[in-house]
Amino acid sequence: AQSVTQLDSQVPVFEEAPVELRCNYSSSVSVYLFWYVQYPNQGLQLLLKYLSGSTLVKGINGFEAEFNKSQTSFHLRKPSVHISDTAEYFCAALDYNQGGKLIFGQGTELSVKP
C-alpha cells in the first residue's frame, strides 16, 4: 500500500527566505502526487499536483514541486516566502489500488517570521 512521509513536522523560516518542504512516497507502479495547504480552521486547498509529464510542477502562490522518481520524492519549494504562507502543508498520494484514496503525509507546519 502507498504511504507518504513528510520528514519535517515544523519548518520555521524568515520572511523572504527560500523554503523546501520534504515529501517522500513509497514506490508504486503509477503515482499521482499532490500538495495541499490548510489555513487554521479551514479545509484543504490544492497547491499543485503531479499526474504525468514534466517533473517540475508549478502551482499557486509561487510554489513549485519536483517529482523525482529515483528518490521517490516530491519536495515543495518556494524561492521567497511571505508571512501569509504560514500554514499547514500536506503531501498526498493517490492510491488506485486502494479505491482511489488519497494517502496523506503527517503534515508540515510552515511558520514564517518577520
Q: Which stretch binds another protein (CB under 8 A): 13-21, 62-70, 74-82, 101-109?
A: 101-109
Q: Which of 3, 71, 80, 106 binds another protein (CB under 8 A)?
A: 106
Q: Which stretch binds another protein (CB under 8 A): 17-25, 61-69, 72-80, 94-102?
A: 94-102
Q: Which of 3, 30, 45, 84 binds another protein (CB under 8 A)?
A: 45
**Grid coordinates given for 34:** 499532490
Q: How far is CA 41 from CA 19, 38, 44, 100, 103, in A?
A: 24, 8, 10, 26, 21
Q: How far is the CB of 70 from another protein (least distance, A)?
A: 26
Instruction: Please report, in angstroms and rounded to a whole number, the separation of the first and last CA atoms in the chain.
Output: 41
Using CB under 8 A, count the residues that bind another protein.
18
52 binds another protein (CB under 8 A): no
Q: Which of 3, 30, 42, 97 binds another protein (CB under 8 A)?
A: 42
CA–CA distance, 61 with 14 (Å, rounded to integer): 17
* Residue 94: partners with Cβ closer than 8 Å, 6 or more residues away: 31, 32, 33, 34, 100, 101, 102, 103
**Grid coordinates given for 44:** 484543504
Which residues here bind another protein, judged by CB under 8 A? Answer: 36, 41-46, 49, 90, 99-102, 104-107, 109
